[in-house]
Amino acid sequence: MKRQLAILFLIIVCGLMAGTAVVAGTPPETAAPVVADPDGVETTATAAVAPREPESLTPCQQAIRALLDREAAQLAALEARVPATADGAAFLSLQREIEQVKQDTELQVMRTQAEHARLEGRVEQAERIEAALAEMAAPQPAIVPVERHDEAPRGDAARR
């Protein structure tokens, strides 16, 4: 179920960001192919795609769009620091900051989806999203302890 929600989330986010995504670390001039409009003016393909008007988005989509816009601004600021990063430790720290921004946004988007599902009377869907959030927030053990009940002695006694 967690995987299904993650896939659903990615589909929604990708649908909202269609035409506006830029690969991290890719210079804007290489992020999208260049196309020419009928007048011969060159633009990137992402610029040629008209974004949806805010009034055509549902309130939930508008809230998610605001979260994604804020994330994009935070990521742009962090990615702008990459060229000035001199050593591996600083780069790793910056990479972890980027990862944290993305994780925080994912959780905020899911909370927004749950909130709007409740407001729209889709209580069961809201509960599923909230259950997924609780599962994601629960600390996962790195190693599961295993009890061993060996009857055979170890070491030299086992060889005899």
Query: Does the pLDDT of residue 26 top 50, yes or no?
Result: no
Count of CB atoms situated within 10 Å of the CB of 113: 24
Count of CB atoms situated within 10 Å of the CB of 92: 11
Tens-place pLDDT, residues 35-81? 444 444 444 444 444 455 667 899 999 999 999 999 999 999 999 99
Tens-place pLDDT, residues 77-136? 999 999 998 899 999 999 999 999 999 999 999 999 999 999 999 999 999 999 999 998
Q: What is the pLDDT of residue 71?
A: 97
State pTM to two decimals. Answer: 0.56
d(CA 151, CA 149): 6
Q: Which DSSP state fits 34?
A: E
Tokens of 33: 């192919």
Burial readout 69-87 (b: 16 or more C-beta within 10 A, e: otherwise):
eebbebbeebeeeeeeeee
Q: C-alpha angle with apex 76: 84 to 5, nearest 5 degrees?
A: 130
Q: What is the pLDDT of residue 51?
A: 55
Q: What is the pLDDT of residue 152?
A: 60
Count of CB atoms situated within 10 Å of the CB of 132: 21
